[in-house]
Structure 1
Amino acid sequence: MSFLVRRNLPKAWAGFRDTFDRPPQNPLQPPWRHLGGGESSINNIEELVITQQIVNDDGRGPSYTYMPFTDCWGFETEVWYPVEGVDNQIFMMGFTNTWANVSSAFTNVFGVWLYHDLGGADLIQTGEVPQMWAAIERRQSWPSPVGAFQGQTLTVRLWCEADEWVRIWLNGIFVGAAMISPAYKLGPGRRCMRFMNRSYCNVWVRWVHHYDRPPSTPRPTSPAAWASSFYDDFNRPDSNTVGNGWTKLDDTRSGIWANSWSTNTTDDGQRAILRDTGITSTRMRIEGTVGGAVGVNSAQDSGLILYSNNGATQGLSANIFSDKIYISRFSGSVANFTDISALTSGVTVNNGDLIAFTVWDGTAWIEINGTRVLYADNVHFAVPSTNTYAGLRTKRASFNTSHSWDDVRILTAV
């Protein structure tokens, strides 16, 4: 049911796969354990059966001993969930401390669940659960890409990156992604899976697979993945002309000011500077230091631009406020944004912070001082990788000016 592949110590990969191909069990036997009230069993047709528990006040459900060793891992399962009716019902895959540590308590759980709402809609949701009777935090929701759950075999796949970013597929169709907050971040001893059924129906689980996997992106601690191809510290006399090979898109409304690139008028509007990176791969990175002439502002945002065309009518932008960040697509102009991923709480950007915006084979992320804080996936479906321009953006509106950029560096993958 499980495997361990050990190569060069201390590196190791582990995996656990169970198809329940054994005689019936009631109660469950190790490596499984049922936690809390209710019951789970293995039936005579090799399925894990989790009984209906519409009143579930303790997160009751089955869990197992094994968990992945590394911070990049996957979880997959096939279930039969014949949910129906006009009440909110949930079948959750929760990730938390091992059951040997938490016993039957259901606290501090990051969960992905199949959700049938009181209006009859079937959804996939994620969230952070402090404990069973607390409000779910950072809840996200997507419609089921396969329609109603009732009457269908459902295969759920989760990929976790760096113990903090989870992507979700249902029956092979990408659903969405969720960032795990620092308080709920997973890690050694906190990658344990447990099922929780709060429904009027049983759930039949036909197999599970929980495993280490190669990372989709370079490790946050792998600067060797990148080489600097251009750097500008803007340390030159104040001028409406930026120079140094930049193309400025806003005439005289921005320029060099106090050794930074900044808005320098009180006119409203977007400002941008671009340059052709010559990078034609699906891997590009830009870094900028916040501040200079104008400090951070919670009312207006500045941006780091990647994969723009030469007229800045199409591209990607990491939009930075003092207290929120977004990965966005712009189209038509750098004033017209569609947000792809957002973090609107629990983030602080200060003057002097180094912000990095990276795209690696369609996965994008933002770092603050080397710590990844927001991801987005499949960004090249929104903006093609054939756009080779990168640069910076600032903004003024409603008597507020967004922050300056004190320097900027463009990097290419090695």
Structure 2
Amino acid sequence: MPWLLKRSRPLSKQGKLDPFDRANENPPKQPWRPWGDSTPAEILDNKLIIRDSGSFWSLGPRGGWGSEYYPLTANWGIEWSMNMNPVGVLTPRVFSLFLGKNWINGGDPTAVKYQVLFRWEHYTTTNNDDETEHHYAVSLWLDDKDSAIDQPRKVSYDMGNSANLMAPHTWRIKCVNDNTFILWMDGIVRWVYTIPAGLEGGGFLRGPGLRAQAMRATFCEAEIEDWFVYDYVAPPPVWSSDVFYDNFNRANGAPANGWTTVGSDVVINSNSLGLAGGLLSDGNRGAWRSGAPLSTGNMRLSVTLGGAHGLSSSQDSSVVGRINSAGTLGICLNIFSNKIYIAKFTGSLSSPTFTDLGMDELTLNNGDVLNYVITGDEAWVEYAGEILLYVDGINAHSPESNRGYGVRFKRAAFVNSVAFNDFRVQVKV
């Protein structure tokens, strides 16, 4: 097949790119093919145009189009550009991207019991005053075909209005370990979601034969350009055994054990690292292993939350990686009881200026363990076996050559930020 290509990007290997730069085809020829009930499509003016399927419900045609190529490994991605054109006056207007069986295996994605699909849609609901409300979103849906589809498990990104939903955008989906999906729109991460391994007995997890993409347009037409599907060369990182671990189980006082404090009152307190007791001044302060940089800037920093001071919704503590040799630059995971941030810091651990890179809301408890990963151009947070927060473009903020690590604490309004019961460091192997 002439367009089986190797991707120039260093994190991907062979995949299939179709720029649709050939003579018009009506209907499209292999590797494209319809699935399910007949739905018109054509390649026209360097675009794949999927026409309106005619019905959202099973009473009418339920079909679409897909490519024969699908990823072969558990770590893969899809990239394309798309705009949607409305057809008629009815809603919901929906573009569906099913991740499941391929047509070359007799696959009809709507026949798979555990359906994983992305939906771009304009739909309406009725509020308590019987007023119609309009919604414009892109969502990840997990539907058990044998259950009612009006109660899906899903995560959504609000597109705001019809013009934004239907306008041209570039989209990227990255799948890690066949269960974590990261969505980009126009080069910006919009959300990350990990399918729980035990959900419906693991039926929603993708795998061999369940990574193909099949598309359908409902009350709209989808115009698609530069469709690209690929596998990643590099699987998720493999981490070393601990290169540093501190459980802080020693007498109250200065941290010692290679920690350099920045600012006052960062101490061992009740077998945890955090702020001293008593009436402290407001502000930031921190500690880092200034004399022990790692052999690489690709690191996994893990902490157990709590100790002398518990979690707070008003003051945050930080796990900090990729600190430069001067201690004036790094990438922080900032931790509240109800949200986490990944941010660039400049200045110092006692007087930081933050540039937020990504945020996720959640409920954390004392005793929880967070794993903060910085590897290559990416950073993310692992919690209870799931990836909760993901950002890319890290190298532009702090390159791999910055290999220090540490912590930051804060006090304000008579509240101390959370202490850490332990601190673990691993590096990519």
Taking structure 1 as the reference length, what is the TM-score of the superposition? 0.71
From the superposition, tell whether residues 256 and 323 of structure 1 become closer, same or farther in structure 2 (CA, over 3 Å): same
Question: Cα distance, 1:57 vs. partner?
Answer: 5.7
Hey, what does 1:191 align to over in structure 2? 211
Match of 1:242 among 244, 247, 255: 255
Hey, what does 1:330 align to over in structure 2? 345
Q: CA offsets, 1:230-288, max 9 Å, x none?
A: 3322222111x222222212313x31112211222343433311122323744233222
From the superposition, tell whether residues 330 and 33 of structure 1 become closer, same or farther in structure 2 (CA, over 3 Å): same
Taking structure 2 as the reference length, what is the TM-score of the superposition? 0.69
- 1:282/1:362 contact within 8 Å kept: no
- 1:110/1:126 contact within 8 Å kept: no
Hey, what does 2:127 align to over in structure 1? none
Hey, what does 2:302 align to over in structure 1? 287
Match of 1:263 among 268, 275, 280: 275
Hey, what does 2:189 align to over in structure 1? 176
Question: Cα distance, 1:385 vs. partner?
Answer: 3.8
Match of 1:211 among 223, 226, 230: 230
Question: Cα distance, 1:357 vs. partner?
Answer: 1.6
Question: Cα distance, 1:392 vs. partner?
Answer: 1.4
From the superposition, tell whether residues 29 and 379 of structure 1 become closer, same or farther in structure 2 (CA, over 3 Å): closer
Question: Cα distance, 1:315 vs. partner?
Answer: 1.7
Q: CA offsets, 1:163-183, max 9 Å, x none?
A: 31425475xxx3335312435
Secondary structure class of the residue paired with 2:72: coil
What's the RMSD between the two structures over aligned residues? Answer: 4.8
Hey, what does 2:176 align to over in structure 1? 161
Q: CA offsets, 1:84-133, max 9 Å, x none?
A: 9x999977462444384652799964537599xxxxxxxx9743246787
From the superposition, tell whether residues 328 and 44 of structure 1 become closer, same or farther in structure 2 (CA, over 3 Å): closer
Question: Matched residues in 2 for 1:168 and 1:233: separation?
Answer: 38
- 1:158/1:169 contact within 8 Å kept: no
Hey, what does 1:365 align to over in structure 2? 380
Question: Cα distance, 1:326 vs. partner?
Answer: 2.1
- 2:334/2:341 contact within 8 Å kept: yes
- For the pair 1:316 / 2:331, whether they are aligned, the reply is yes
Hey, what does 2:391 align to over in structure 1? 376
Question: Matched residues in 2 for 1:237 and 1:50: separation?
Answer: 68
Hey, what does 2:318 align to over in structure 1? 303
Hey, what does 2:126 align to over in structure 1? none
- 2:76/2:232 contact within 8 Å kept: yes
- For the pair 1:94 / 2:107, whether they are aligned, the reply is no
Question: Cα distance, 1:297 vs. partner?
Answer: 4.0
Hey, what does 1:121 align to over in structure 2? none
Hey, what does 2:110 align to over in structure 1? 103
From the superposition, tell whether residues 330 and 127 of structure 1 become closer, same or farther in structure 2 (CA, over 3 Å): farther
Of the structure 1 ranges 46-55 and 208-217, higher mean CA displacement relative to structure 2 is found in: 46-55
Hey, what does 1:62 align to over in structure 2? 65
Question: Cα distance, 1:411 vs. partner?
Answer: 3.1
Aligned residues: 383
- 1:285/1:357 contact within 8 Å kept: yes
Hey, what does 2:360 align to over in structure 1? 343
Question: Matched residues in 1 for 2:189 and 2:90: separation?
Answer: 24
Question: Cα distance, 1:363 vs. partner?
Answer: 0.9
Extract unaligned runs of 5+ from structure 2.
Answer: 5-12, 123-135, 144-148
Equivalent AA in structure 2 for residue 40 of structure 1: P
Question: Matched residues in 2 for 1:54 and 1:341: separation?
Answer: 39
Extract unaligned runs of 5+ from structure 1.
Answer: 5-12, 116-123
Q: How does 1:131-142 map to 2 (within 5 A)?
A: 138-140=155-157
Q: CA offsets, 1:316-371, max 9 Å, x none?
A: 111233443221222335454332122213x54441x4322221112112223564
Hey, what does 2:33 align to over in structure 1? 32
Hey, what does 2:421 align to over in structure 1? 406
Question: Matched residues in 1 for 2:295 and 2:83: separation?
Answer: 45
Secondary structure class of the residue paired with 1:238: coil
- 1:28/1:41 contact within 8 Å kept: no
Question: Cα distance, 1:66 vs. partner?
Answer: 5.7
- 2:119/2:141 contact within 8 Å kept: no
Q: CA offsets, 1:59-95, max 9 Å, x none?
A: 86434576323221122446676789x9999774624
Secondary structure class of the residue paired with 1:380: helix
